Structure 1
Amino acid sequence: MRLTSFTDFGLRALMRMASAPDRAFSTADLAAEFALSRNHLTKIMTALAQAGIVTTRRGGGGGAVLARPPGEIRLGEVVRLLEAGQPLVECFQASGGDCSITGCCRLKARLRNAEAAFLADLDRSTLADLALPPLERAVPA
């Protein structure tokens, strides 16, 4: 299974946020830390906020904070959210895709089972399990 960069970047940001769940993180700071596009990260944060995983505040002292304790946010939930609309294979598309062997394919059911097992495994872990260690800031000499 391959995750999109949208999901990868979202997980990285949430792992950092889980390291200090009461701190507000700006998209600028997170983007700089992980060398990501700030614009792309803003779209991710918007999706996470709409789903109730983070809350956002504008202005001084603003940024994104986890909406729930890290131990209550399951990785499977996050992956399902951020991968929504990204089917594992073409035939998993809502339209059924353009597969010429749909009627006799034996692979589709196995791939569905594998995808379900993958997500079930992620559901056993939370952001608390993956919180990144706090950044060590360089102290001037």
Structure 2
Amino acid sequence: MGMLQEFKEFAVKGNVIDLAVGVIIGGAFGKIVTSMVEDVIMPIVGSIFGSLDFTNLFIPLAKVPEGTAPTLAALKAAGVPTLAYGSFITVALNFTIMAFIIFVMVKQINRLKRQAPAAPAEPPPTPEDIVLLREIRDSLRK
């Protein structure tokens, strides 16, 4: 069997296609969760804690050059090492929400799998030749 044929069999297997669809949907879903965290949740959390933009919460680890704007992007552009804990909080919250949603989805899928047990299949009808042979056997016993 040629390598091209083996690759074709591998590529069209259901598991590979399912994985590809999962990766594509996961990437899109990740963008949705990231947007929800950055655009919806973090502004609410920021207003509660008094800082409206968590991405600009940082601690400069070196002297800030004069004339540099006190924003994370400006300090990074100036080459100042910073401890950007606000970005870390945003990413950690993003991960927590994503992990919780995946947990709920897996839990529901497992619940649905347990709910629907396969009904025992009805045995197929006995073929006529077997029925005929059984009748012959029974008549020979008599």
TM-score by length of 2: 0.25
Greater RCO structure (CA 8 Å; 6+ sep): 1
Q: Which has the larger radius of gyration?
A: 2
